[in-house]
Amino acid sequence: MSVDFRKFFRATDPGKTLFVENCEADHQYYIDFSAVRGGQIVENLRDNISLWSPDRPTCQLFTGHIGCGKSTELLRLKADLECQGFHVVYFDSSRELEMGDVDVGDILLAIALKVSQSLDNLTLKEPKGLKTLLQGAAKLLQTEIDLDLDITGEFPGGQISANTQGEVSGQFLVPGIGTITAKAKASPDLRAKLRGYLEPRTNGILEAINQELLEPAHQKLAQHGKKGLVVIIDSLDRVDSSPKPWGRPQHEYLFVDRGEQLRGLHCHIVYTIPLALRFSNDFDTLMQRLASPQVLPMVPVQYKDGRECTEGMQLLRQMVLARAFPELAPHQRLEKISAVFDSLETLDRLCRVSGGHVRNLLRMLNDGIKKQRGVPICRDTIEQVIRTYRNQRILAITNDEWVLLRQVARQKTVAGSDGYTALIRSMFVYEYCDDEAGSWFDVNPILAEAKELR
């Protein structure tokens, strides 16, 4: 069987999230790594909602290295919960918020917007408190931008009409919030002015969202046979760690200082958070105010003692080969390696040097296909790609960080210092988890052959 290398190239796009439950092609590409990642992490998130607390709001945290597959797993969670009868709202926060400058009010408004958008077939009581807050924001900013939100309460298309019970469409808030947040995201000055208005009103915003949107939505959804409302906010792990004007790192300010407000929503909620928060001095406070995060580690290519992780390598091989032969069974794909690589050793070299980071594995594979201009991909091509990636990474590493990296290579642990946090955030160090050693760390294999580590 020959390989359509252009189709193979498109299938290895590292920026594509797999919609496993809704797309047959994506389902064929999906590989379940849970057996080597320390447990059924998505199942734990699901059970905490559907099994242990279906009728009481829960707040859960999910973290891991950027690119390790969190979005794919969260979409699996969404599909699982929907199959169990929950109304699930999933959204990528990086498309709604400015990741370099985020505040609690921004997150709350984004949640209100996405929940409202999802209620297209429901009618709710007119949310007067939220409407008043939006009118105040519009009045504040109307000299700078055209909000398409009249302060008399009119939205595009005219006055919103209510039925005889005083109810309006569940999407009543969408035009106002959507326009305000979109304009504010595009302008730092407007964002600062809007934040100055929203910040002292955060508790009022939270109360209004709960009483006028979430609680009525629960009641209406129950009438339609739904067990509850779940909101999954993806990509908040990408918020900048840059300090706020008073010096507090943004991610610690959001999830530690304002954690009680983030968990105050009257629905099930799942936040992605930066992995670096696990090494913060305020981690205990984070767990008290929000929750203990579920961590999605890397797919192990070896154990802590240096032995090869056979099962991890087998699954990574399948992840690569499934992109070329999605319709074949796993054992049949292995028989077709020569159609994609010049040898099994070349495929294994690619898998090992990725360190089990699925996006980086796909990125190097994608670049290898381009450089080879087809298939099969030879060992020299893969080595060229590896050298390019290594050289790019080395340029960003300071002398002090090399010292820390050598310590990680020897000890397989990290401490809570800022230096180690920077290594993890920059993906110079990866986290793994297995039944034998529990959680442990190692240097990104792309750096392991650098002379500075010898």
pLDDT tens digits, 376-389: 999 999 999 999 99
pTM of the complete model: 0.90
Residue 324's nearest CA partner among 311, 335, 314 is 335
**Residue 152: what pLDDT?**
40
**Low-confidence stretches of the chain (pLDDT beneath 50):** 143-162, 164
CA distance 77 to 80: 5
**How much of the chain is helix, strand and coil, in % rounded to 5?**
55, 10, 35
**Residue 191: what pLDDT?**
86
Contact 376, 338 (CB under 8 A): yes
Edge-first strand order for the sheet with 87-92 is 87-92, 229-234, 268-272, 59-64, 294-296
Angle at 102 between CA 254 and CA 422, to 5 degrees: 65
**Residue 319: what pLDDT?**
97
**Residue 166: what pLDDT?**
55
pLDDT tens digit sequence for 149-203: 443 444 333 334 445 455 666 666 777 788 888 878 888 888 888 888 889 999 9
| Residue 287: partners with Cβ closer than 8 Å, 6 or more residues away | none
CA distance 236 to 254: 10
**Residue 405: what pLDDT?**
95
Q: How many helices (H) and strands (E) does the chain have?
A: 20, 9
Tokens matching residue 273: 């958070």
Question: For residues 131-152, b (16+ Cβ closer than 10 Å) or e, as one string?
Answer: bebbbebbebbeeebebbbeee
Distances (CA, A) of 152 to 157, 180, 197, 370: 14, 16, 19, 57
CA distance 204 to 124: 19
Count the Cβ atoms, other than its own, within 10 Å of residue 186.
Answer: 11
Contact 250, 240 (CB under 8 A): yes
